[in-house]
Structure formats: C-alpha cells, structure tokens
C-alpha cells in the first residue's frame, strides 16, 4: 500500500493549519472572513484518499480548532466530519480530475460544515449552554456566503496541485 507522502503529512499539516487558523489567519481576512484552512486540507485529503481517512483527519482537525479557538469542544469535529461525508463522494464515485468536482465539493463541504456548526451552536444556545447569542440569518449572510467564495477560490488555486497527486489504490 503506497499511500504517498501527503497521507502521512496530513496530521502535522492539519496541526499547523489549526494553529494558523486560530491565530494568524485573521491577518488575511477578506470582507471579514478568514479562510477555513483545516476544512480545505481535509477536503483535499478526502478527495485523494477517501472518506475513511478524511473522517480521521476531520476529527483531529476539529479538536485542534476547538482547542485553539475556545469553541465548544467537539463542535468543529462534528461539523468537519459532516463535510467529509459530502466530500467523500468525490473520491470514487466522481473523478477529482474533473475541474468541477473539487469546486462543487468545496462549495458543498463549506455549506455543510457551516450549516452543521451553526446548528450545533443554535442547539447549545437553545439549551442555554452557549456563552454568547448568535443571530443565525445574519451569520449566514455575513460569514457563510463569503466563506464559500473564499474557500472555493482557494480550491481553484489548489486544483493544479491536487491533480498532480496520484490516485490512491486503497478501496
């Protein structure tokens, strides 16, 4: 089983992305939105190696995001794992070498990630566990929509590199 260097480098890459996203990514905000680097890495890894590996990376990356950002523990993991289930469709069923597959996968994964995360926060707010009030509709308008555009733009930049990685032979 030749998994390639990316497979083994995902944990350190995700750890660095978690730390960067929680600290320095605020410096590269566009329209008040910072990139979801962990989501981007997990989606790329899932497109290359499948949903099984992607779920592991999503769990690890979500815990890292929650530790560094101070969010509710496990909420980012659940949201990232939901996004991986969508991104996993692009591994075997669809060819990631088609230009539209990574783009549509990134759009759908960002929407699922944001939707799941907002739903988790809304439930915590409903149960009076949340520390802050979060208006759902303005959050979707001001955070989710620009995040979809930002993440998809980053995926456009990554497509040439993604297509250079050979297909994994694992089933």
Q: Write down the pLDDT at residue 13.
A: 93
Task: Supply the pLDDT for residue 81.
Answer: 95
- Closest among 154, 150, 156 to 34, alpha carbons compared: 150
Digit-by-digit pLDDT tens for the chain (171 residues) are: 356 777 888 999 999 999 998 888 778 877 778 888 999 999 988 888 888 989 999 999 999 999 988 778 889 999 999 999 998 887 765 666 677 888 899 999 999 999 999 998 888 888 877 676 778 788 888 788 888 999 999 899 988 887 777 666 554
User: CA 47, 48, 50, 55 torsion: positive or negative?
Assistant: negative
The pLDDT score that the predictor gives to residue 102 is 87
At 82 the pLDDT is: 95
| Confidence at residue 1, expressed as pLDDT on a 0 to 100 scale | 39
Helix axes 145-164, 100-126, angle to 10 degrees: 140
Per domain, the residue ranges of the chain are 5-164
CATH 3.40.50 assigned to domain 5-164? The reply is no
Name the packing angle between helices 37-49 and 145-164 (round to 10°): 40
Cβ contacts of 144 within 8 Å, gap of 6 or more: 110, 111, 114, 115, 118
């Amino acid at each position: 089983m030749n998994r390639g260097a990316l497979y083994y480098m995902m944990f350190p890459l995700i750890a660095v992305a978690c730390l960067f996203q929680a600290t320095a990514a605020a410096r590269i905000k566009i329209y008040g939105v910072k990139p979801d680097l962990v989501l981007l890495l997990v989606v790329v890894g899932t497109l290359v190696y499948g949903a099984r590996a992607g779920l592991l990376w999503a769990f690890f990356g979500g815990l890292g995001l929650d530790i560094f950002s101070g969010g509710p523990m496990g909420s980012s993991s659940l949201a990232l794992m939901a996004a991986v289930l969508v991104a996993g469709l692009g591994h075997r069923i669809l060819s990631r070498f088609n230009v539209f597959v990574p783009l549509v996968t990134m759009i759908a994964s960002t929407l699922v990630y944001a939707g799941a995360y907002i739903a988790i926060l809304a439930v915590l707010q409903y149960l009076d566990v949340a520390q802050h009030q979060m208006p759902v509709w303005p959050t979707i308008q001001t955070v989710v929509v620009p995040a979809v555009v930002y993440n998809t733009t980053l995926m456009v930049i990554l497509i040439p590199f993604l297509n250079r990685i050979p297909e994994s032979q694992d089933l």
